[in-house]
Structure 1
Amino acid sequence: MSSNSGHEQKLAHILFASLPLTGHLTPILRAASELHRRGWPVSVVGSSTHGARISAQGVNFIPLQGNADLDDLLYYDRNNPNPPVPGFHELEWYNRALVDFEKFCVEPLAAQWACIKETLADLHAAHPNRPVVIISEAFFHGILPLYMDAPLPAGVPRPKTLCLSVTPPAIRSADLPPFNYPLPFSQTPEGRARNALLWDDWAQLTAPLRQRLHTELAAAGAQRFPAGPVLDGTIYTSASSAIMQVGVPSFEYPRSDWPDRFQFVGFLPLATPPPGGYPNLPGWWEEIKTTDKKIVVVAQGTVETNPNELILPTTEAMRDRVDVIVVAILGRRGATLPADVQVPSNARITDYLHYDAILPYARAWVHNGGYGAITHGVAHGVPMVVAGEGQDKPENIRRIRYSGIGVGLGSVAPSVQDLRLSLEAILSDPSYQERVNVLKQETIDLDCFGRIEKAVLDALA
């Protein structure tokens, strides 16, 4: 779709609100930056940790306040002297996920809503005749008071709202158990009966979180409260306009009961390289551009950065493959491997490298299962080997397997043998490449940013 005309530019101010987690903010910021490029006035609500990064996109940065202003890098740092709860890093991943939901979604809800209200008041004061469209990331629960009839500041009109999901959809379905339950998709009568029982089990398990959610909603001035358990999709389905899912139909289970207004918008498209190309490329870059060997890219991610979990096992798994070069990305600028590590001769190590710079050369993409890493893989048409656990990663890994675009290992620290067998399968079986090409074409056809812009225009109409 083409950029907006000058007339359309004046239609609305777009306010993005995202959970202050890097993996959630990154795709939100890409959408915000693109709509700004197309001429829309754009603001982004985010944590001060990411303020400089948000402002660098040319959009207006609005910092969260109080206990909503979370630093996700410090939160997950094993050296943090004040972990979210005592013994946080020793908890099983599903218990950590419940803590994460409480700390990022429920506990700061009232402070998030206060920020939204103040921002709406400021925008209205500056431009009384310009409507506001809020595009809320699906785990940002600070928008929920608006849907539960919390009062707005005097004289401030109710904004249009859209939901943008940048993780697998956490929406209740008769065909699926609750989010992160390790059971398969099923549309059989037996499967649906099982799912109903599991939803009852989930409601009991998370009853304290539901009560805490209601408490925070009451503090925010809500007049109504969600009837179901947490993570049943209320935050999605309460939006007054579209529910936009980053992804494509072939990556998602064909559930029978998608809510009204739900639509896939495609995975994020390839980023435009910076003028002059990507900076600070490693010294061995020319070899990557000219070699006829197969390139395997492995990244540890920006949160879980222990190279012993994924990077070193991957380099070891491919040590004897003379037809392969492994490019390992440590994930933080200035990061190095321990001095006693003997790097295989076919491995190339770098502290930081933009995924869009290296993935055009890749034949396989090994990562920790974040939705953003999957997006990069699909955009470049690269089959994947996916490790990781926690957050939304178990759901991501199941969809990797279901869609046929890679191998899902489902462990934060897979063995060398499992990685070797998985990579050999990816490099030798053309079906993985064929399937990821299907998803890549679906993404191109859907036109992610164009669909998001159209949803804004439809909401205003």
Structure 2
Amino acid sequence: MARFLLGTIPVIGHVSPAVPVVRELIKRGHEVCWYTGQAFQTTVEQTGAKFAPIRSWLDYSDLKNVPESVMKQRDGIEGVERLKFDLKNFFIDPAAGQVKDLLDLLYEFPADVLIADSMFLGMAWVAEQKQLPWAEFDSSALALSSCDTAPFGLGLQPSNTLFRWLRNHGLRWFFQQTVLRPLRAYTNNVRSQVGLPPSPVYFFDRMSPFLYLCPCIPEFEYPRSDLPPQVHFIGPLLSQPTAEFTPPHWWDELNGNRPVIHVTQGTIATNLNDLLVPALRALETEDVLVVATTGGAATDTLNLPLLPAHVRIEPFIPHAQLLPHVDVMITNGGYNGVQIALAHGVPLVVAGQTEEKPEIAARVEWAQVGINLRTGTPTPAQIQKAVKTLLVDSSYRTRVKQLQTQMQQYNAPAIAANLIERLAEIKRPVLNT
């Protein structure tokens, strides 16, 4: 049996996809040591893995640990500048501390293979230092540069037209050589702190040369004629129904005759005035049942308008339990939420402009499984029109059902475990054949 050292960014969207893979590896008799934020200790230990906490860098699994000045600065910027700010503060700066902790862990837990989510730089650097094989898994849409796509972050779709191909080519050059070029020097400065030489690689083109796991199906990712051979589509890594779930008192209403519309604020961009409140206003006169979740915020502490009689609001409901009853989901575009909606055959209204959400919204539109509102602050009228369209235009549901059928052909945890075991066995790149 093999030993695996796993590192994940201490945010739910980076931790959750790893859970079913770790469970599968443990079930097969392997040992896993999982390094992430303190807030996820219980999650880690419930998989059977050994938990290793962050010690040498800011553990932002609890956002209270992030200095208020940092959050204020972040709130004052948007677009590409916020992207650069996030990459520096939450992904590049922590890498030196990650390396220190991981080297200490390797002394205590000599791993055969390293595993990390795609934004966890420290594991890649330790693999480089120690010459160890390592696997990488994506926690969002594939950001890798390609001759067939626009630069990641702009939310632009690929196209076969010459004009858009030239546009995308020019934007790629501009992004890599101008807009995000300072990130290369910034990253190399942090690399020098841990004794590594400069790297010429563009930030979003960092990738394990051994194994890269893409947790979706090809039908929901832009086609790339130059996709590296170590990239494997494994299907979505979905949360499973939990036995501990206690349905709210109104749960039987989900089985009524009205369409069920689910509004989710998500867990990162959590300003309820951006999406949840306008969605409630959009649907206040519609003959539907609205089920809203606040992203964890207690509903009795929220400054919400008077709720219509057909609205049910909770801090959190597991999607695995709720989505089988849902007809349309309104979301700001979190990757895991979108994936699980598609897996349940639910078309989407997407309104997100922070983090990588424009990219996910663009893929929803490109795959014809929902409507991209192209804003993070939609009006009630925009939401109402989109919901009505999805309820009456059967083409969206037909397309979602097609993707749902494709997803059902994949057992993502088993496929991932097979590939990781293969890497542990051969200690060289695991390539598509």
- Whole-angstrom CA distance in 2 between matches of 1:134 and 1:282: 41
Query: Structure 1 counterpart of 2:276, which letter?
Result: I
Change (3 A) 1:247 1:72: farther
1:168 maps to 141
- TM-score, normalized by length of structure 1? 0.86
1:383·1:426 contact (CA, 8 Å) conserved in 2? yes
- TM-score, normalized by length of structure 2? 0.91
Is it true that 1:145 corresponds to 2:125 in the alignment? yes
2:280 maps to 315
Is it true that 1:136 corresponds to 2:116 in the alignment? yes
Query: Structure 1 counterpart of 2:70, which letter?
Result: P
After superposition, the C-alpha distances for 1:259-280 in whole angstroms (9 at most, x for unaligned) are 1211111112451432xx622x
Query: Structure 2 counterpart of 1:139, which letter?
Result: M
State the Cα distance separating 1:56 from its structure 2 match. 3.4
1:208 maps to 182
1:298·1:327 contact (CA, 8 Å) conserved in 2? yes
State the Cα distance separating 1:119 from its structure 2 match. 1.6
1:248·1:264 contact (CA, 8 Å) conserved in 2? yes
1:100 maps to 86
Query: What's the % identity of the aligned pairs?
Result: 25
State the Cα distance separating 1:199 from its structure 2 match. 2.5
2:155·2:361 contact (CA, 8 Å) conserved in 1? no
- Structural mapping, 1:338-357, within 5 Å: 338=302, 341-357=305-321
- Structural mapping, 1:152-301, within 5 Å: 152=130, 158-202=131-175, 203-223=177-197, 225-231=198-204, 233-234=205-206, 236=207, 239-269=208-238, 271-274=240-243, 278-279=245-246, 281-288=247-254, 290-301=255-266
State the Cα distance separating 1:286 from its structure 2 match. 2.0
SS across alignment from 1:101: helix
SS across alignment from 2:387: helix
Is it true that 1:453 corresponds to 2:411 in the alignment? no
1:336·1:351 contact (CA, 8 Å) conserved in 2? no
2:59·2:65 contact (CA, 8 Å) conserved in 1? no
- Whole-angstrom CA distance in 2 between matches of 1:342 and 1:105: 40
State the Cα distance separating 1:187 from its structure 2 match. 4.6
2:74 maps to 88
State the Cα distance separating 1:409 from its structure 2 match. 1.3
1:73·1:303 contact (CA, 8 Å) conserved in 2? no
Match of 2:271 among 290, 294, 306: 306
2:33·2:109 contact (CA, 8 Å) conserved in 1? no
- Structural mapping, 1:405-420, within 5 Å: 405-420=369-384
SS across alignment from 1:268: coil
1:268·1:443 contact (CA, 8 Å) conserved in 2? no
- Whole-angstrom CA distance in 1 between matches of 2:343 and 2:289: 22
- Whole-angstrom CA distance in 1 between matches of 2:383 and 2:200: 44
- Whole-angstrom CA distance in 2 between matches of 1:402 and 1:439: 13
Query: Structure 2 counterpart of 1:218, which letter?
Result: S
- Whole-angstrom CA distance in 2 between matches of 1:336 and 1:31: 36
State the Cα distance separating 1:420 from its structure 2 match. 0.5
State the Cα distance separating 1:408 from its structure 2 match. 1.2
- Whole-angstrom CA distance in 1 between matches of 2:395 and 2:117: 34
- Whole-angstrom CA distance in 2 between matches of 1:227 and 1:396: 27
- Whole-angstrom CA distance in 1 between matches of 2:124 and 2:227: 20
State the Cα distance separating 1:240 from its structure 2 match. 3.9
State the Cα distance separating 1:312 from its structure 2 match. 2.1
SS across alignment from 1:218: helix
Query: Structure 2 counterpart of 1:378, which letter?
Result: L
Deviates more, 1:52-61 or 1:451-460: 52-61
Is it true that 1:41 corresponds to 2:41 in the alignment? no
- Whole-angstrom CA distance in 1 between matches of 2:156 and 2:338: 22
- Whole-angstrom CA distance in 2 between matches of 1:330 and 1:214: 39
- Whole-angstrom CA distance in 1 between matches of 2:184 and 2:65: 23
- Whole-angstrom CA distance in 2 between matches of 1:161 and 1:122: 18
State the Cα distance separating 1:226 from its structure 2 match. 2.4
Match of 2:333 among 351, 358, 369: 369
Query: Structure 2 counterpart of 1:264, which letter?
Result: F
SS across alignment from 1:451: helix
Is it true that 1:113 corresponds to 2:99 in the alignment? yes
Is it true that 1:16 corresponds to 2:6 in the alignment? yes
Match of 1:62 among 45, 52, 55: 52
- Whole-angstrom CA distance in 2 between matches of 1:222 and 1:196: 31
2:20·2:239 contact (CA, 8 Å) conserved in 1? no
Unaligned runs of 5+ in 2: 427-433
- Whole-angstrom CA distance in 2 between matches of 1:110 and 1:30: 28
SS across alignment from 2:185: helix
2:6·2:32 contact (CA, 8 Å) conserved in 1? yes
Change (3 A) 1:376 1:41: same
Deviates more, 1:299-308 or 1:344-353: 299-308
- Whole-angstrom CA distance in 2 between matches of 1:364 and 1:337: 27
Change (3 A) 1:284 1:256: same
- Whole-angstrom CA distance in 1 between matches of 2:43 and 2:157: 39
State the Cα distance separating 1:338 from its structure 2 match. 4.3
SS across alignment from 1:87: helix
SS across alignment from 1:445: coil
- Whole-angstrom CA distance in 2 between matches of 1:228 and 1:191: 25
